[in-house]
C-alpha cells in the first residue's frame, strides 16, 4: 500500500469524524432549542390567562341611606366591605328564588372578595352612578375565573347552574386584568397584583446601581491603570474573581449580618435589598470594567502622555470614555442578574406579604422574583397562572435589559 492511499484513507476518516462532530453539535443545539420552546410554551400557556380576568355584570340602584355617606366626596373614607351588602343584594335580585342561607353563601361566592373595593373605586371615578340604575362589571371569584378559563372546576352543581344562567344573559365576560398591573399582593388570587413587586424591584435596583457603579468603576480603574503589580494586587484580583463565583445566598447572609444586625437598617426594605445585591454585583462590574479598559489600545495612553496629559487626565479624558460602552454593557448585564435574584433577598426578610405599593427606599417591599416564589408556593390553583404571568413579565424585562446591552455594544463599539 502506497503512502498516497494511506494518507487518503486517513483524510477520509478525519472528514467522517468531523462530520460526526458537526452532527452531534446540531443535535445538541436542536435539543436545546426544543427544551427552550417547551419551557416558554408552558409558561406562555399558563401566563397569558393571568392577564385576563372574569367579570360578572350586576345591576345597582343605590338608595338614600344605603351607604353611610351624605355625598360622593365621602366615598374615600369607606372600606371595600361597606359595598359588600349592595353586591349581595344585587345577586339576590338576579336569583330571587335562592332563599336558604347556605345557598346564598354559595351565591355570594361567585363574586370576588375584593369586588367591593372595585365598586368603590368605580363610584369614586364616576360619582353619577350613585343615582339611577346602572349595570356594573365586577370581578368574579377565583373559582369562577378558573372555570370560565377551563383551567379547574371547583364549582358545585348550583353554582354552575347560576353561572350558566348569567352566561346565557350575557352577564359574564373575560376582560384585561388591570388589577395585575395596578395593585399589590392579595390573599385572593383574582385580586393579586404585580405592581408592588415591580415598584420594589425598581427601588432596589436604583439603590444597587447608585452604590455599585461608582465604586466598581473606580476600583477597576485603580487596579488596571494605577496599581503597581505585586503580591497584594494579585491577592485582591484573585479574591475579586472568587467573589464573582460565590453563591448568592452568601451575600444574603452578609447583608443580614452587616446591614440589619450591625447597622440596624429596616428589614424587608429596598435600601437593604439594593445594598445586598450591590455586594453580589460589585465583582461583576469590576471584572467587566477592567476588561473594557484592557481593550483600549496602549497607543491611546502613550499619545496622551506624549502631549503632556497627567495619568488622571489620560484616564478621565481618553481611556475611560473609550471603554464606557463596555462598562455600560457589563453594568446592565450585572443589573439583569440582580433583578432575577431571590436567595439573598430571602435572607434579609423581603419575603414578607406586602399589600401596599412601596413609596420609598425604606418602605416594606418585595421584588419580582420573590413575589413569584410566594405565588408558586401558594396551594391555591388561582396563583399558578399568576406565577406564570409574573415570570413572563420578568422575562420580558430581562430580555429588554439584555437587548439594550447588545444595542449599546453594537452602537458604540470601536474596533481597533
230 within domain boundaries: yes
Residues 225, 99 share a domain: no
- pLDDT above 60: residue 2: no
- Segment 65-89 mean pLDDT: 76
State whether residue 192 is helix, strand or coil. coil
Q: Which of 176, 208, 240 is the last residue of a domain?
A: 176
Q: Give backbone dihedrals phi and psi of 137, rounded to 5 degrees, phi first.
A: -85, 125
Residue 155 structural domain: 52-176
- Same-domain pairing of 221 and 349: yes
What is residue 195's three-state secondary structure?
Answer: helix
Q: Are residues 221 and 152 in the same domain?
A: no
Residue 63: per-residue pLDDT = 65
Same domain, 243 and 364: yes
pLDDT at 409 over 60: yes
Q: How confident is the model at residue 282 (pLDDT cuts 50, 70, 90)?
A: very high
Mean pLDDT of 299-323: 89
Helix (H, G, I), strand (E, B) or coil at 231: helix
Does residue 4 carry a pLDDT above 70?
no
First to last CA, the chain: 52
* 378 and 281 share one domain: yes
State what percent of residues in the chain have pLDDT above 70: 95
Asked if 325 and 264 sit in the same domain, the reply is yes
Position 9 in a domain:
no
Whether 347 maps to a domain, the answer reads: yes
Do residues 113 and 228 both lie within one domain?
no
Say if CB 255 and CB 272 are below 8 A apart. Answer: yes
Q: Are residues 243 and 135 in the same domain?
A: no
Give the pLDDT mean for 35-41: 89
CATH number at residue 308: 1.10.3720.10
The number of domains in the chain is 2
Q: How many residues does the chain have?
A: 416
Q: Which of 128, 148, 176 is the last residue of a domain?
A: 176
Handedness of CA 127, 130, 133, 139 (dihedral sign): positive
pLDDT at residue 153, as a whole number: 83
Considering only residues 277 and 72, tell me which one the structure prediction assigns the higher pLDDT: 277
Of 130, 145, 176, which residue is a domain's last? 176
d(CA 123, CA 268): 34
Residues 214 and 351 in one domain: yes
Q: Is residue 291 part of a domain?
A: yes
265 contacts 219 by C-beta, under 8 angstroms: no
406 part of a folded domain: yes
Same domain, 311 and 378: yes
pTM: predicted TM-score of the whole model, two decimal places: 0.85
Same structural domain, 170 and 232:
no
Would you say residue 369 lies in a domain? yes
Mean per-residue pLDDT for 98-120?
90
Q: Say what the pLDDT of residue 402 is.
A: 85
1 located within any domain: no
Residues 169, 266 within the same domain = no
Amino acid at each position: 500500500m502506497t503512502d498516497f492511499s494511506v494518507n487518503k484513507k486517513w483524510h477520509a476518516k478525519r472528514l467522517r469524524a468531523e462530520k460526526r462532530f458537526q452532527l452531534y453539535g446540531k443535535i445538541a443545539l436542536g435539543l436545546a432549542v426544543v427544551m427552550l420552546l417547551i419551557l416558554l410554551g408552558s409558561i406562555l400557556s399558563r401566563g397569558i390567562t393571568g392577564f385576563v380576568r372574569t367579570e360578572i355584570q350586576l345591576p345597582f340602584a343605590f338608595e338614600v341611606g344605603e351607604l353611610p355617606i351624605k355625598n360622593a366626596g365621602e366615598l374615600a373614607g369607606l372600606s371595600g366591605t361597606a359595598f359588600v351588602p349592595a353586591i349581595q343584594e344585587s345577586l339576590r335580585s338576579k336569583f330571587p328564588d335562592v332563599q336558604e342561607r347556605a345557598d346564598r353563601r354559595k351565591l355570594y361566592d361567585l363574586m370576588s372578595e375584593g369586588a367591593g373595593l372595585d365598586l368603590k373605586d368605580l363610584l369614586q371615578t364616576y360619582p353619577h352612578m350613585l343615582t339611577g340604575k346602572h349595570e356594573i362589571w365586577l370581578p368574579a371569584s377565583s373559582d369562577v375565573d378558573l372555570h370560565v378559563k377551563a383551567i379547574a372546576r371547583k364549582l358545585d352543581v348550583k353554582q354552575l347552574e347560576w353561572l350558566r344562567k348569567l352566561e346565557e344573559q350575557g352577564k359574564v365576560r373575560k376582560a384585561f386584568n388591570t388589577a395585575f398591573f395596578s395593585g399589590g399582593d392579595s390573599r385572593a388570587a383574582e385580586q393579586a397584583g404585580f405592581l408592588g413587586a415591580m415598584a420594589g424591584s425598581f427601588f432596589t435596583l436604583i439603590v444597587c446601581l447608585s452604590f455599585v457603579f461608582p465604586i466598581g468603576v473606580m476600583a477597576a480603574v485603580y487596579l488596571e491603570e494605577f496599581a503597581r503589580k505585586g503580591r497584594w494586587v494579585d491577592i485582591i484580583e484573585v479574591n475579586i474573581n472568587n467573589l464573582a463565583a460565590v453563591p448568592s445566598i452568601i451575600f444574603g447572609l452578609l447583608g443580614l449580618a452587616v446591614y440589619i444586625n450591625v447597622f440596624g437598617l429596616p428589614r424587608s426594605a429596598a435600601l437593604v435589598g439594593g445594598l445586598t445585591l450591590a455586594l453580589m454585583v460589585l465583582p461583576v462590574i469590576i471584572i467587566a470594567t477592567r476588561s473594557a479598559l484592557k481593550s483600549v489600545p496602549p497607543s491611546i495612553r502613550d499619545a496622551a502622555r506624549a502631549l503632556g496629559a497627567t495619568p488622571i487626565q489620560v484616564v478621565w479624558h481618553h481611556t475611560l470614555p473609550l471603554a464606557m460602552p463596555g462598562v455600560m454593557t457589563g453594568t446592565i448585564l450585572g443589573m439583569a442578574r440582580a433583578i432575577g435574584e431571590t436567595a439573598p433577598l430571602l435572607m434579609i426578610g423581603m419575603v414578607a406579604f406586602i399589600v401596599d405599593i412601596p413609596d420609598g427606599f425604606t418602605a416594606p417591599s418585595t421584588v419580582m422574583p420573590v413575589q413569584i416564589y410566594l405565588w408558586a408556593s401558594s396551594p391555591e390553583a388561582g396563583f399558578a397562572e399568576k406565577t406564570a404571568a409574573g415570570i413572563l413579565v420578568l422575562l420580558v424585562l430581562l430580555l429588554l435589559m439584555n437587548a439594550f446591552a447588545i444595542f449599546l455594544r453594537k452602537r458604540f463599539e470601536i474596533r481597533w
